Chains A and B, each alone.
Chain A
Amino acid sequence: MNRRMRLCLVALGGAGLAALFTAAFLRLPAFGGDRHPYGDRAVRAALHRHTANTIASVNFDLRAFDTLGETSILFASVLGCVVLLRQARDEHRARPEPADVAPPVRRYALLVLPVAVLTGLYVVAHGQLSPGGGFQGGVVTATALHLLYLGADYHALERVRPLGAYEAGDALAVSAYVVTGLAAVLAGTAFLANTLLPYGTFNTLSSGGTVPLLNAAVGMEVACAVVVLLARFLDQAVEIEEDSGK
């Protein structure tokens, strides 16, 4: 395939995409309006199931199957990273020297660390009530743990981070999501249908049926996945060295 052919192919695909995009956008509701057919239906369904945060209701109830797909994508990509970034045969581990940390940095990092972890856990726990949820809170919690690397050093981080436990937690959380879905099947409804648990009182932590459970499972999965991912990258950046002489 020569250059001309490739250009023609790109132009063809681009033109098709542009045409379809324009056609799709012409049918969209106007920007900034207060009525939206899908939004109205989603809000009604969320209120019916006592879930205060409509986004959480869409993610973990109406479209729970989509979220299962996204969770599996994250799981598979982290698995791929773990496989790719493992220690190769011509590499060895070198213990990193403890680095000097400027006192203000250390003070600030250690001060913010508990606040950040707590914020992350709060965002996970209140996913069905306020903006946020498992994904956002999980990322915040996992990145907050790495303030320890900034404030203290790599050793301290490794001590609070038994990697095997996080890898197991990642897999466990994905399984918990699937098991919650299968429980609905056992109860005689569809996979991941939100009919198993009582909907509870509106705007309390336990409202929304299975939404809080799935939310917590995703939170745990994302937190563990990000910790494992960052650990592999940190290993590569700090610890693993290529053997220089052969």
Chain B
Amino acid sequence: MIAVALLLVAASATAAVATRDPARQALVLSVLGVVLAVLFTTLQAPDVGLSQLAVGAALTPLLLLLTVRKVRRRPRREEDPR
């Protein structure tokens, strides 16, 4: 059980690094958060698992997505030199 959870963590962490598009990366990060929560629970640390689920799977991807949206919405003229 622990080995399966560890393998899942390794796989999703690699996927998060390999994804280049920030919006997709946020989603993969959320999956990684859920898998990490599973790992912590199998290691008998439900407290840490619960915080990981709340912060890693929900809060961090949400903040990332909002940031990506803000950056993308910026008008294109930022690119020309001042």
- Asked if A and B bind, the verdict is yes
User: In the complex, how many angstroms separate the beta carbon of B10 from the nearest chain A beta carbon?
Assistant: 18
- Indicate the size class of the contact surface on chain B: 10 to 19
| Residues B54 and A237 in contact, CB atoms below 8 Å apart | no
For the complex formed, measure the closest distance between the CB of A61 and the CB atoms of chain B, giving whole angstroms: 15
B23 within 8 A of A: no
* Interface of chain B: mostly helix, strand, loop or mixed: helix
CA distance A234 to B73 in the complex (A): 13
Enumerate chain A residues within 8 angstroms of B58, measured Cβ to Cβ: 139, 143
**Interface residues of chain A: helix, strand, loop or mixed (majority):** helix
Q: Is the CB of B75 within 8 A of A55?
A: no
Shortest C-beta distance, B71 to chain A (Å), equals 9
Structural contact, A136 and B63, CB atoms closer than 8 A: no
Distance between Cα atoms of A146 and B66 in the complex (Å): 13
Q: Is B62 an interface residue (CB 8 A)?
A: yes
- Nearest B residue to A53 via CB reads B47
Assess whether B62 is in contact with A230, with CB atoms less than 8 Å apart.
yes
**Between-chain CB contacts (< 8 Å), 22 pairs:** A123-B50, A131-B49, A132-B47, A132-B50, A133-B47, A136-B50, A139-B51, A139-B58, A140-B54, A143-B54, A143-B59, A146-B62, A233-B66, A233-B67, A233-B70, A236-B66, A237-B66, A237-B69, A237-B73, A241-B73, A242-B75, A244-B75
